[in-house]
Amino acid sequence: MTKLASLTLTLALALGGISSPAFVLAQQAAPGDAIRRPPPPDRDDFEVDANGDGVPDGWYNARDAVIEHEGGEVGPKFLRFACERRGRPARLSRAFGVDGRTTEAIIVGMWLRTKDVERGERSGEEPSFLIDFLGDELRHVSRGTMGPWTTSIGDRWTHVAKRISLPPSTRDAILSIGLMGASGRLDVDGVTLKLVPRQSVETTNLVANGDFELGDPAPASWIVNNDASRVSPGHASDSAIELSRSGAKVFTGLALPVEAFDGLEISAQVKAQGLRGSGGAGAGVYFLDADGESLGGRRGGAQAFQWAGSFDWTPQRTVVPVPRGAVRAVLQFEKSDGLGSVRVDDVRVAASPNPEIAGWSPYQISDDVLGWHEHAAVGPIVAGSALDFSFLNPGPAGSKGPVVVKDGRLAFRDAGRARFFGVQLLPPAAFQDAEKVDALVDRLAKSGVNLVRIGDLDTAYGPSRSLFDDARDDTKEFDPDSLARLDHLIAALESRGIYVAVELLGGRIFRSEDGVASAGMLPPGGGAAAVFDPTMAKLNIDASLAFLGRTNAETGKRLRDDPALAWVTLAGEVSMFNLIDNPAGLPPKYADELRVRGEQARGLPGRRLWQSLESAHHSAWAEELRKAGLKAPLAGVSHWRREGEFTPTLSAPGLDLIDDRLFWTPSPWVAPEARSLLWSTDGGLVAGASRKQVETRPYVVGQWCPQTQGAWALPYEAADQLLAAATARHEDWDALVRRGVFIHPKVWGDGPVGLVGGEDIFQIPEVANGTPQVYSLWPHAASILLRGLAAASKPEPIRSPLHRRTPTPGWDASRGRLVLDTPYTQGVAGWNLDGVSNFATLNISTGSPYAVVVASSVGSEPIAETKRLLVTTLARVEPTGYRWVDPWKRETADPGRPPLLLEPVRARVEWKRKGSVKAFALDNSGKRVGPAVAEPLPNGEGLALIVDGASATIHWELVAE
Banded model confidence at residue 810, pLDDT cuts 50, 70, 90: very high
pLDDT > 90? residue 754: no
Spatial distance between the Cα atoms of 40 and 98, rounded to a whole number of angstroms: 8
* Arithmetic mean of pLDDT, 161-188: 96
- For 546-565, the pLDDT digits (tens) are 999 999 999 999 999 999 99
Does the pTM surpass 0.75? The reply is: yes
Is the pLDDT higher at 299 or at 610?
610
Write down the mean pLDDT value for the chain: 92
The total of other beta-carbon atoms located within 10 Å of residue 151's CB is 16
Amino acid at 630: L
Cβ-proximal residues to 89 (8 Å cutoff; 6+ apart), any chain: 18, 63, 178, 179, 180, 181
Nearest to 386 by CA among 905, 856, 953, 908: 856
DSSP 12: H
Q: How confident is the model at residue 791 (pLDDT cuts 50, 70, 90)?
A: very low
Residues 6+ apart with CB under 8 A from 687: 680
Among 141, 150, 98, which Cα is nearest to 120's?
A: 150
The per-residue pLDDT for 179 is 96
pLDDT at 16: 40
pLDDT band at 54 (very low <50, low <70, confident <90, very high): confident
Mean pLDDT to the nearest integer, 107-136: 95
Q: Please, which residues have CB within 8 angstroms of residue 556's CB and are 6 or more apart in sequence?
A: none
- pLDDT number for residue 48: 87
pLDDT at 793 over 80: no
Confidence bin at 299 (pLDDT 50/70/90)? low
Closest-CA residue to 493 (of 558, 448, 444, 427): 444
Q: Give the orientation angle of helix 434-446 with respect to helix 480-495, to 10 degrees.
A: 30
User: Is the per-residue pLDDT at 148 higher than 50?
Assistant: yes
**Span 292-318, mean pLDDT?**
89
pLDDT in tens, 933-957: 999 998 888 999 999 999 999 999 9
CB-based burial label for 231 (10 Å; 0-12, 13-18, 19+):
buried
Per-residue pLDDT at 747 exceeds 80:
yes
Higher pLDDT, 298 or 338: 338
Alpha carbon distances (Å) from 499 to 93, 413, 636: 46, 14, 19
Tell me if 944 sits within 8 A of 917, measured CB to CB: no
Q: How confident is the model at residue 277 (pLDDT cuts 50, 70, 90)?
A: confident
Helix residue ranges per DSSP H, 628-662: none
| Number of Cβ within a 10 Å radius of residue 746 | 15
Give 821-876 pLDDT, tens digit per residue: 999 999 999 999 988 999 999 999 999 999 999 999 999 999 999 999 999 999 99
Q: How far apart are CA 815 and CA 460, in angstroms?
A: 46
Alpha-carbon distances of 712 from 6, 899, 903, rounded to whole Å: 13, 14, 16
Q: Using one digit for the tens of pLDDT, what is the confidence trace for 18-50?
A: 444 444 444 444 333 444 678 888 888 898 888
Using the predicted structure, report yes or no on whether residue 800 has a pLDDT greater than 90: no
What's the average model confidence in pLDDT over 249-274? 96
C-alpha span between 563 and 546 (Å, rounded)? 18
E strand or H helix at 26, and its extent? helix 21-28
Instruction: Give the closest residue to 417 by CA, choosing from 924, 788, 742.
Output: 788
